[in-house]
Structure formats: C-alpha cells, structure tokens
Homo-oligomer: A and B are copies of this chain.
Amino acid sequence: MVQSGSVHTIQWVDGHVVILDQTRLPLETVYSALYTTDDLIQAIQAMQIRGAPVLGVAGAMGVALAGLSIASEEPAGFAAQLRPLAMAIADARPTAVNLSWGVHELLSRLAAQRCKTVEQQRQFLVAEAQCMLQEDVAANRRLGAFGAPLLPNDGIVLTHCNAGALATAGYGTALGVIRSAVESGKNIRVYADETRPLLQGARLTAWELVADGIPTTLLTDSMAGYFLHKGVIACVVVGADRIAANGDVANKVGTYSVAVLAKENGVPFYVAAPVSTIDLCLPNGDVIPIEEREPDEVTTIGGTRVAAVGVQVANPAFDITPARYVTAIITDAGLVYPPYEQNLPKVVRSPQ
C-alpha cells in the first residue's frame, strides 16, 4: 500500500474526511472517517493525524466539512457561521502554523472566488480543499528535487520525528528529500531517531522507509549524538512546524539537540518545509507558542505505566532551533541559505 511515500494520509471521500489513524501504526492500518469539524479537531488533538504540512490540508478539509454542516442558504448567515467553526479548527494545535495557514488559505481563496450562492461556496470549498491536497504533494516533490543534491551520493542521513508521507498529503518533506535522492540514484541509508514520547520515528518513519525499501536504522534519541560524534552521519534532514522570519525553526522536541550536536561535529543540518511553514509575522522563535501535552505520554508507553508513581512530568511537544544551527532551509520554492532575514521573504513572495 505504501509505494514511494504514496500512503493516503488524508482523503476526501463522499462528503467527509478519511484519515489513516497514525496512533495505531505500525501495528495496525486503520482508517477513520471524520464527519464533523469536532471529529476532525479531536483527531488532530489526539495526533491521529499529525505533521505540519498535512495539518494544512486537514485545516482546509475541515473548512469544507464546516461548509457542508451549515444549513443556511443565505450568504451572510453562511459566512457568519463558517468563521467560528474555521477558527476552532485553526486553534486545535498551537505550534505548527500550517493548520492555521490551511484554514485561512481556503477562506481567502473562497473570498477571492465571489461565488454567488451558498451551494456554490460549499462546492468550491470541497473542490478546493482537494486541490490543496494535490498542491501539497506537488510541493513536496518540488522540495524533494531541490533538496536531493544536498545529500551525499553514498552515505547516512539522520532524521528526527516523521516528516514523511504521513506528515504530508504524500511523499514527505525531509523524507521527500531522501526519496528524491534515492530516486536520483544515490545510495542513502537513514538513521531515524525513535522520537519520544510518541515514537513517530520508530512507528512512522521506520514504517514508511522500510515499505519503500530504503535501509533504515532505528536509534533512541539519546544515541544521535553518539553517531554524529563518531563521524558516520553525512547530514541531518528534519521537517519544521513553523519557521520565523529570522530562520529560527520550531519542530518536534529534540530537534534543537540534534542541531547543536550536528554543528558541534561539523555535520550539515537541513530543514525541509513548504513555504506555508514560514511565518514572516514572527520575528524569531522566542514568540512561537510551544504546546505542552499530557503527562501520560511520558509516563506510559502503549498503555503500560513505565515511570515511578509520584514523579512530575514535563512534556513540551516542540522546541526552537535557533537559525545559527541551520545550514539551509529546503522549500518548494528553492533552497534558502543565511542570512534568513533577507532570503526567506524572497521564497515566500515568489510565485510557486
């Protein structure tokens, strides 16, 4: 079913959304049907669907679901009801900007369209959300092609968390770069951090890459430094949940540590993300909100308690990697090098 990252992470089927439930992978392949914006918000918060780029598509499909749920045929009433439903989706998780971007992008495309009737608006939302899914896959393929030349002809690439087909509408960002390099004939092996607490590396990245036949070695997060120091890693490629105007990167917690360890050992550290991840409204990473998640993600694994009773828990889901650790940012509009303040606006404003 998974062929070169062509997994169906999210689909629009007969007036509702169908997602591959990522909390059940890799042991079970279960699809969930989401009929309402509440269903979608719950699935996003439970991380049944996760990954910044696909959250953009999910946000757009959520707006389409919202449109179908509103009975009013009167344009002003429809708009008044659509807006709070859309905002609730945009706010379902705070750190990745793509979710909010997807919601607002579809709303502004709707506004630009000037549909006459509410039914036309509904049809536009449904059709355009599906376009945005296709656009994400296409963006990832462009991004992969831009990034592939940065990878070694023969070597090991380290990644953290899952920035793969499962984090996007398909193909992946960081894993898209790796897939593109492999497709171009490079001999790439991947070292994948398991990515505690939710083990996206062990469960999702390993699952995707093994299915694609790309040799993959799983590490605990604590081992990345060992291998970077040992000199066996050619470069690091990760995804991003939000990139500030100065190039600071919010991504899955642990990314900052990998970036520091890469720099300390002279290993290039690349961030792969679509332009929709870049948030020029934020001057730097200090103002990116960091989601704090439930303690039981840390104290239990697969429903089994692992931690001593009575211990307190910290569970920030993301961290900020200052721009000075980022060698280059690989986007669907091309490679961006420092100084990021100067070069990020160019790709954000470029026609894609």
Chain A positions within 8 Å of B, measured between CB atoms, are: 25-27, 191-197, 199, 202-204, 206-207, 209-210, 215-227, 229, 252-254, 256-257, 260-261, 264, 298-299, 301-302, 304-316, 319-320
Contact = CB atoms under 8 A, between A and B. Distances in A.
B202 A309 contact: no
B221 A311 contact: no
A306 B27 CA distance: 8
Nearest to A216: B311
A264 B261 CA distance: 10
Contacts of A310: 206, 210
Contacts of A302: 301-302, 304, 306
| Best-buried of A301, A311, A316 by chain B (most CB within 10 Å) | A311
Contacts of A195: 222
A341 to B, nearest CB: 21
A306 B197 CA distance: 12
A313 B167 CA distance: 23
A313 B215 CA distance: 11
A220 B196 contact: yes
A141 to B, nearest CB: 24
19 contacts: A26-B307, A202-B299, A202-B311, A203-B306, A203-B307, A217-B311, A218-B307, A219-B313, A219-B314, A220-B315, A221-B221, A223-B316, A225-B260, A226-B256, A229-B256, A301-B301, A302-B302, A302-B306, A304-B304
Contacts of A314: 191, 217-219, 223, 227
A203 B304 CA distance: 12
Contacts of A309: 26, 210
Contact of A311 (B210, B222, B312): B210
B261 A257 contact: yes
A288 to B, nearest CB: 13
A260 B204 CA distance: 28
A205 to B, nearest CB: 8
A218 B307 CA distance: 8
A347 B2 CA distance: 60
Contacts of A315: 220, 223
A201 to B, nearest CB: 9
| Best-buried of A26, A194, A206, A254 by chain B (most CB within 10 Å) | A194
A194 B253 contact: no
B298 A220 contact: yes
A27 B229 CA distance: 36
